[in-house]
Amino acid sequence: MRRTILPTAAVVAAVVGLPGVASAETTTSYVVPLDLTVVASPNTCPNPLLTDFCGYTRGTGTVGIAPGAPDAASGTDHLVISTPDGNAKAYALSYEFAGTPLSDIETLGYRSYVAQVNPAEPRQAPALNIEVDRNGGTLQPGDYAVLVWEPVYTAESTDARRWITRSPSTSDGGWWSPANRSTTQLPQPLGFPQEEATWEQVQAGLQNATVLGIGVNQGGGNPGLLAQVDLLQVNGTVHDFETELPYPTAKEQCRKNGWAEFTAPGFRNQGQCVSWVARRSGDA
Ligand SMILES: [Ca+2]
Ligand SMILES: [Ca+2]
């Protein structure tokens, strides 16, 4: 959707494997501030959504793309999420995969960095969230559910101030859902064990489900948590959050030594930069 409407935000093919994730070929999609819409009420993302990502913030929570802790794999710009008090909440979800069967989501990954911990629970870090229609088809009342994967329920590191690769699709557990709480009538209605479920178990419990949105969330009850996320991977697409695109979209950007600023791809001189833009825009 967005990519045909906002030509500044294009996709560049690259091979950028997430460290620790099986090295299938992936495509890097650079996500810049124009690609993220943030709303103040839950489930009010514009429809149709003209950006790939939609974020929601509650109370003092914030989410945005900004410079943060340098990371060899993801640069210095990241998705930055802050929840200053216990009521705050903030998330950013991609809707590029809406309608995809949950069973087709094979690879999920991201990198996270906790710059400032929640003092009451210093192991907390941003979680992966997937909004689903639990039985596919049209979204009827009762069909909506959010699947959550949290590092704290797995054997993955909980260290602060260190970039850590997260592996929701291959970890030893960590999945749960608010819609999966057992009652006396119905033990675990989504069909997988809370918090200790693997991705395979989630998929087995929700065989007809379809994806609505996929992204990262910092939920309520995390006062003081200040974190960064990058390289959000869904199957073959890796989302790299950047304040600016690392490549030129207009020939003018190559001039006055502008060519030297670009990194993906990098250029040897102005002429090479101009040619690249011309080829890419089809007017070479
Ligand atoms: Ca449905
Ligand atoms: Ca980045």
- Measure the CA–CA gap between 85 and 83, rounded to whole angstroms: 6
The one-digit pLDDT tens for each residue of the chain (284 residues) are: 343 333 333 344 344 445 545 456 899 999 999 999 999 998 899 988 889 999 999 999 999 999 999 999 999 999 999 999 999 999 999 999 999 999 999 999 999 999 999 999 999 999 999 999 999 999 999 999 999 999 999 999 999 999 999 999 999 999 999 999 988 778 899 999 999 999 999 999 999 999 999 999 999 999 999 999 999 999 999 999 999 999 999 999 999 999 999 999 999 999 999 999 999 988 65
Task: List, in order of start, the domains of the chain with CATH numbers.
Answer: 2-246 (2.60.120.430), 250-284 (no CATH)
| CB-based contacts of 264, cutoff 8 Å, min separation 6 | 12, 14, 28, 30, 246, 247
Q: How close is the Cα of 164 to the center of ligand 2, in Å?
A: 14
pLDDT of residue 284: 59
Q: How close is the Cα of 263 to the center of ligand 1, in Å?
A: 43
| CB-based contacts of 92, cutoff 8 Å, min separation 6 | 36, 38, 53, 54, 55, 63, 79, 81, 215, 216
R_g (Cα) of the chain, nearest Å: 20
Q: How close is the Cα of 117 to the center of ligand 2, in Å?
A: 21
Q: Say which ligand is closest to the CA of 139.
A: 1
Q: How close is the Cα of 230 to the center of ligand 2, in Å?
A: 6
> Is the pTM for the entire model greater than 0.85?
yes
Q: How close is the Cα of 72 to the center of ligand 2, in Å?
A: 10
Q: How close is the Cα of 87 to the center of ligand 1, in Å?
A: 31
